[in-house]
Chain A
Amino acid sequence: MIAYIVRRILYAIPILLGVNLITFALFFFVNSPDDMARIHLGVKRVTPEAIAKWKEDRGFTRPLLYNAAAQGTAKLKDTIFYQHSLRLFVFEFGRAEDNRDIGREIAERMWPSLAIALPTFLVGVLVYITFALLLAFFRGTYLDTWGVVLCVAMMSVSVLFYVIGGQYLMSKLWHLVPISGYDDTGLLAFKFLTLPVVVGVVGSIGANARLYRSFFLEEIGKDYVRTARAKGLSEPRVLFQHVLKNAMIPILTGVVVVIPSLFIGSLIFESFFGIPGLGSYTIDAIHSQDFFVVRAMVFLGSVLYIVGLILTDISYTLVDPRVRLE
């Protein structure tokens, strides 16, 4: 098991290197540093001196991949790729356009992100499983049919609609909670977080409840369920004790992969609800065309996704004794 995990972590290195190369190519080959300087300094009326200074400040006067002028290992080290992209591996993200340290921003902003993503995730999983179980319990009846139709209809609504509709109903019409904002102290935090969490959960009920329902139905068709019924167990007991346990395997493994990514939060929700997390940080960076922040977030997102994949594999062995990691 330990050997397996170590191997998986080693496998992650070439993948992250690939991610780095992709962002490097996007930001430095498609557009030269000169182009970027021009964008940030204003496309027209920009002097060559200003561009040179901009590049000098950021160390972009180095060659991209190979420095023929340098000596020894500096041939590779004294390049933009080494100095800027490979530093990401030790989580040195550098500085944003406004000269703030990206690493420190990330460390500060991931907590608000987590504060909304984690409750949404936990409440969501509970609600989806409950709904799916209800649908599975009433399978084949009108309740099930119309429940599935409702799920499909809810899936077809844009997430933006849930956000805007939720803000309108709960804040403007009923005055239950503030429209947006964030505070991390006690009751106030709860007030601010309620709306995004509710909207986040309701917005994805359709897709998830339908998916989980299909997991349950698949299990219900199996032999051990027939045996349980033949023993004379009541339908709720069959459903809760036997089916639920086994259907948790596909549910859990699908859910574990997103857990690490909860840190980076959601772009849409954080910008709509004014949460100062990593999602709104990314949106701000996109709007101000701050490549370094976007690149740092791409790298961080990939790292967290890979961690999620490793956790998924481990969780397989925990919930399903048939699986052994070699």
Chain B
Amino acid sequence: MPFQPVFLWTDVLIYVLLAAAAGFGVYAARHEHLRAPWRQIARRPLAMVALVALAAYVAAGLLDSVHFRERLANGGDQYSAEVLSLLDKLAAPLRSRVEKTYSAPFAAHAYTKETVEYPDGRRVRAYPRLVHGGAHLKDPDERGADIGKRAALATAAGGLVWLALVAAFVALRRVPGEAYAAAARRLARGADPIPWRAILVTAGVLIVLAANAGYLSLYYHILGTDQVGLDVFYKSLKSVRTGLVIGTLTTLVMLPFAVLFGVMAGYFRGWVDDVIQYVYTTLSSIPSVLLIAAAILSLQVYMANHPEVFDNVAARADVRLLFLCVILGVTSWTSLCRLLRGETLKLREADYVQAAQALGASHLAVMARHVLPNIMHIVLITVVLDFSGLVLAEAVLSYVGVGVDPTTESWGNMINGARLEMAREPMVWWSLTAAFGFMFVLVLAANLFSDAVRDAFDPRLRR
């Protein structure tokens, strides 16, 4: 085989999560009472625009979650020690084109002066040309025209792809016998119950942006380079996975405990309730940053003393990422558990639960069949609402030094690394801007989408 697949822990959990989400999707599609709220969400333009943006992030994250090691060119069945992902493969030009140090977005010259030796032997202190950024230009002053030309080309290509997409969509949505033009007009008017027009426009913007970014970054560093000359755009893309993993796996890790303990406490009451309440009160009384700091410190010591447990850097960074998810989960399951306990307390007095008990149903059956389905909306709302907070928390924790491994690409690490760049003259603003920009779009989309989910699933808000 030309490559050897590598399954990192978080990869496996992401696959599990995907499978669970797909299973839930199939289940929800078959039940009208679950389909109705989703239909309500699908009719909100803002929510659907947010969903398209989220989908773009998820696509990048998933591409970055398929890992493998390539076979070495010379060595028989030897595999490279470096673990790559599909995203690395796709963005190979970005990854390999490393400069010496900082350079501004679209720059052709480095950020710092160096002694440049001319062919005729003169030595001058000047800003040297970049090895890759704008290297195809003879005269760097033509940059503006060159960028404009290439951007127009990429926009045209992206636009064509988008038009093809819209045409295919119109053809699919056409009522038999209806003229194509009429179907297109229907779409353009935005008269459908599902805001297809908004969805397609968002997709168009994303496609054009992606085409521009992809094409231009073959010739320039579109978001500049960082201190060691790595392309900032590539780093930002790699950080997407970290953000998504923290946002989703944390809740996946905490869910079983929160649901199990919450339902048990509310259903059995008595000493079970006392014990569970004691556990979550204790955990929630520790300020979460401090608990995370304490746990990560312990892990660091453990890792430093047991280097033999981890066979490579990627696995080590991955275990730390997973551990961060677990410890974030430990600090955040308590509030969900408290909510579920309260709801179960109410539900166990409901007539249908009493009837099931009177008919001799076992505790397990009552909990699984009658209590669980009626608290799932709380679970869903909490999961979706927590996502954005967790993405933001990662940045803060990485800044404090108890976040992801320093070798993991993440927005928090980018911001942390850029701490002193603001003080430089002229200012190095691009790393920070890129990290904040990528994070902002993801969190904003998640916030908008979660609002729609809450409105649709919370019975108190239902009109």
Contacts and interface: CB of A to CB of B under 8 A. Distances in A.
20 contacts: A18-B278, A19-B282, A19-B286, A27-B298, A30-B298, A35-B302, A155-B447, A156-B443, A157-B440, A158-B395, A158-B396, A158-B411, A158-B439, A158-B443, A164-B432, A268-B399, A286-B402, A287-B401, A297-B290, A301-B286
Given A14-B278, A157-B436, A305-B285, A26 B401 contact: no
Interface string B428-463: 000010001001100110011001000000000000
B312 interface: no
Nearest to A287: B401
A294 B297 contact: yes
The 4 closest A-B pairs by CB, nearest first: A18-B282, A156-B444, A301-B287, A156-B443
A31 B298 contact: yes
**Size category, A interface:** 35 or more
A159 interface: yes
Nearest to B433: A161
B297 A286 contact: yes
Nearest to A159: B396
Given A30-B299, A153-B444, A286-B401, 8 more contacts: A23-B294, A38-B305, A43-B305, A157-B443, A158-B443, A167-B422, A289-B301, A302-B287
Interface string B275-312: 00011011101110111011101111110110000000
A68 interface: no
A305 B287 CA distance: 8
Interface of B: 278-279, 281-283, 285-287, 289-291, 293-295, 297-302, 304-305, 388, 392, 395-396, 399-402, 411, 415, 422, 432, 436, 439-440, 443-444, 447-448, 451
B274 to A, nearest CB: 11
A151 to B, nearest CB: 10
B399 A298 contact: no
Given A164-B422, A268-B400, A289 B444 contact: no
A161 B439 CA distance: 11
B226 to A, nearest CB: 16
A252 interface: no
B289 to A, nearest CB: 6
Interface string A23-42: 10011001100011011000
A70 to B, nearest CB: 28
Nearest to B394: A158
A148 to B, nearest CB: 9
Contacts of B293: 282, 286, 294
A264 B298 contact: no
Contacts of A264: 287
Interface in A93-112: none
A65 interface: no
A125 interface: no
Contact of B285 (A160, A291, A306): A306
B444 A268 contact: no
Nearest to B432: A164
Contacts of B399: 160, 268
Contacts of A18: 278-279, 282
A298 B395 CA distance: 21
A301 B281 CA distance: 14
A30 B299 CA distance: 8
Nearest to B301: A31
A35 B301 contact: yes
A168 interface: yes
Interface string A253-265: 0000000010010
Contact of B301 (A36, A159, A167, A301): A36
Nearest to A23: B294
A325 interface: no
A125 B447 CA distance: 23
A23 B388 CA distance: 28
A295 interface: yes
**Dominant SS at the A interface?**
helix
Contacts of A5: none
A22 interface: yes
A282 B388 CA distance: 26
A267 B396 CA distance: 9
Contacts of B297: 27, 286, 289, 291, 294
B298 A268 contact: no
A259 to B, nearest CB: 14
B451 A26 contact: no
Interface string A159-191: 111001001100010000000000000000000
Contacts of B396: 158-160, 268
A216 to B, nearest CB: 16
Contacts of A36: 301
B426 to A, nearest CB: 12
B298 A15 contact: no
Contacts of A152: 444, 447-448, 451
A286 B297 CA distance: 7
B420 to A, nearest CB: 11
A156 B399 CA distance: 18
A35 B304 CA distance: 9
Nearest to B327: A26
Interface in A258-315: 261, 264, 267-268, 271, 282-283, 286-287, 289, 291, 294-295, 297-298, 301-302, 305-306, 309
Nearest to A165: B436
A160 B396 CA distance: 7
A161 B395 CA distance: 10
A100 to B, nearest CB: 19
A194 B76 CA distance: 65
Given A158-B395, A159-B392, A268-B399, A294 B287 contact: no
A147 to B, nearest CB: 15
B301 A39 contact: yes
Contacts of A157: 436, 440, 443
A261 B286 CA distance: 11
A292 B411 CA distance: 30
Contact of B304 (A39, A155, A271, A291): A39
B326 to A, nearest CB: 13
Contact of B294 (A26, A38, A306): A26
Contacts of A153: 444
Most buried by A among B283, B285, B286: B285
Contact of B415 (A160, A287, A294): A160
A309 to B, nearest CB: 8
Q: Residue among B279, B290, B439 with the most chain A CB within 10 A?
A: B290
Contacts of A301: 286-287, 290
Given A15-B278, A156-B443, A267 B305 contact: no
Nearest to B288: A301
B323 to A, nearest CB: 11
B301 to A, nearest CB: 5
B278 A294 contact: no
Nearest to B444: A156
A306 B291 CA distance: 16
A84 B290 CA distance: 19
Contact of A298 (B287, B298, B392, B401): B287
